[in-house]
């Protein structure tokens, strides 16, 4: 009788141990990537499926910051494809990053493929993006810290937009964080004929942080937050159901939309490349302007950016790049003051000439002028 009772207790203990292990792995452990499906890579198919993600970095090299800066063009960049990273190198480095983040930066064939594709085919674009990070990452980090979010989310903007605030996808997503119109309005971004805050680095980053917070409250898993940010909670919920509600992202991976499957591997790859740039051989190309060299002023009246540029002897294109949210180069007069970003050394000049700038910005309402012609007309009406 005692032996039977002891056997019963022993069996019950095993059941509880297995149940605890399942519960812990299901809800709390970081995601280990299954190797079978994820390590079977067809390079041509992977490139076709991830074309949108892979082409995003190309936009960074067209940034006006580099067209305005002769020293940027003279900067040393990678002249030939860098050596591919071996599995051993990646496997030895990723765990170090993984220990410092709530994200699961795990290794598999998909991650390996993205790292080496970026190195072989997008090295120069990655170096330009690294330079732009000096302009945008301080903005991201300040806002992420304000909302108690992981700072590694800043790398998501590289995957989303290549740090180009004016990039627009075929589906209509716009800006550094690639907001669709309805999502942007839901999170308080202003969109009208004059202003589209999806392109505003400050406003769009705050909206993205609010969205991240809500998604994490919904899923409690950062990889699922990334997936939901890309394809929407509805698609993630469908994948969860097919994966028996596993919180392991890689178990959901086969059930996600094709265009989303490369999203987290690309995010991990960007984390890896930007943190190990020196060891890999990537060299940051500095833009004409960085975060600590510009500041903002509040605009009280209707103002033409072209008038500001001429009065302060600044490049019109530089001002446009610093203020991408203004769609037709006019800052409208609204109940709440609008914000204009300027190189820091010109803030005093603007304050001294503010009234004159407002006066010269007065012009007829060009309601009959097609939008595509307003830009050149406004620049000539000074």
Domains assigned to the chain = 30-280 (1.10.530.10), 291-380 (no CATH)
Q: Which one from 47, 49, 142, 160 is the annotated catalytic residue? A: 160
What pLDDT score does 84 carry? Answer: 86
Active site residue 160: yes
What pLDDT score does 318 carry? Answer: 85
**DSSP secondary structure of 251-305:** HHGGGS-HHHHTHHHHHHHHHHHHHSHHHHT------S--GGGEEEEEE-S-EEH
Taking the chain (382 residues) in consecutive chunks of 10 residues, what is each chunk's mean pLDDT? 50 46 43 50 60 64 48 47 85 96 94 92 89 91 97 96 90 94 95 94 96 97 96 95 92 91 93 95 79 81 93 90 89 87 91 92 51 45 44
What pLDDT score does 20 carry? Answer: 42
What pLDDT score does 47 carry? Answer: 63
Neighbours of 276 (CB within 10 A): 19
What pLDDT score does 24 carry? Answer: 39
Q: What is the radius of gyration, based on Cα positions, of the chain?
A: 25
What pLDDT score does 69 carry? Answer: 45
91 backbone dihedrals φ, ψ, rounded to 5° = -65, -30
For 182, half-sphere exposure in the C-beta direction (CA atoms, 13 angstrom radius) is 2
What pLDDT score does 54 carry? Answer: 65
What pLDDT score does 26 carry? Answer: 44
């Amino acid at each position: 009788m005692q032996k039977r009772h002891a056997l019963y207790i022993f069996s019950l203990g095993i059941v509880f141990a297995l149940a605890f292990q399942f519960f812990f792995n299901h809800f709390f452990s970081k995601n280990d990537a299954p190797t079978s499906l994820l390590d079977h890579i067809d390079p041509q198919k992977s490139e076709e499926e991830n074309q949108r993600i892979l082409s995003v970095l190309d936009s960074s090299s067209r940034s006006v910051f580099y067209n305005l800066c002769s020293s940027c063009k003279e900067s040393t960049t990678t002249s030939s494809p860098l050596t591919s990273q071996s599995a051993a190198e990646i496997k030895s480095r990723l765990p170090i990053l993984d220990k410092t983040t709530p994200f699961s930066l795990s290794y598999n064939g998909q991650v390996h493929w993205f790292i080496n594709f970026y190195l072989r085919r997008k090295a120069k674009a990655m170096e330009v993006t690294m330079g732009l990070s000096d302009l945008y990452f301080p903005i991201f980090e300040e806002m992420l810290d304000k909302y108690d979010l992981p700072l590694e989310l800043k790398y998501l903007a590289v995957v989303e937009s290549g740090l180009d605030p004016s990039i627009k996808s075929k589906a209509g997503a716009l800006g550094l964080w690639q907001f669709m119109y309805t999502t942007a309005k839901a999170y308080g971004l202003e969109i009208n004929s004059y202003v589209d805050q999806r392109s505003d680095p400050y406003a769009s980053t705050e909206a993205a942080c609010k969205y991240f917070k809500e998604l994490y409250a919904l899923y409690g898993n950062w990889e699922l937050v990334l997936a939901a940010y890309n394809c929407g909670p509805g698609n993630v919920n469908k994948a969860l159901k097919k994966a028996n509600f596993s919180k392991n992202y890689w178990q959901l991976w086969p059930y996600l939309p094709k265009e989303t499957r490369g999203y987290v591997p690309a995010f991990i790859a960007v984390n890896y490349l930007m943190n190990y740039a020196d060891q890999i051989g990537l060299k940051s190309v500095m833009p004409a302007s960085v975060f600590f060299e510009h500041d903002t002023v509040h605009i009280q009246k209707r103002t033409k950016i072209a008038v500001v540029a001429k009065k302060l002897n600044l490049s019109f294109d530089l001002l446009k790049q610093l203020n991408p949210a203004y769609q037709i180069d006019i800052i409208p007069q609204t109940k709440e003051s609008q914000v204009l970003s300027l190189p820091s050394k010109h803030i005093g000049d603007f304050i001294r000439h503010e009234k004159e700038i407002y006066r010269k910005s007065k012009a007829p309402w060009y309601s009959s002028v097609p939008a595509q012609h307003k830009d050149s007309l406004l620049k000539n009406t000074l």
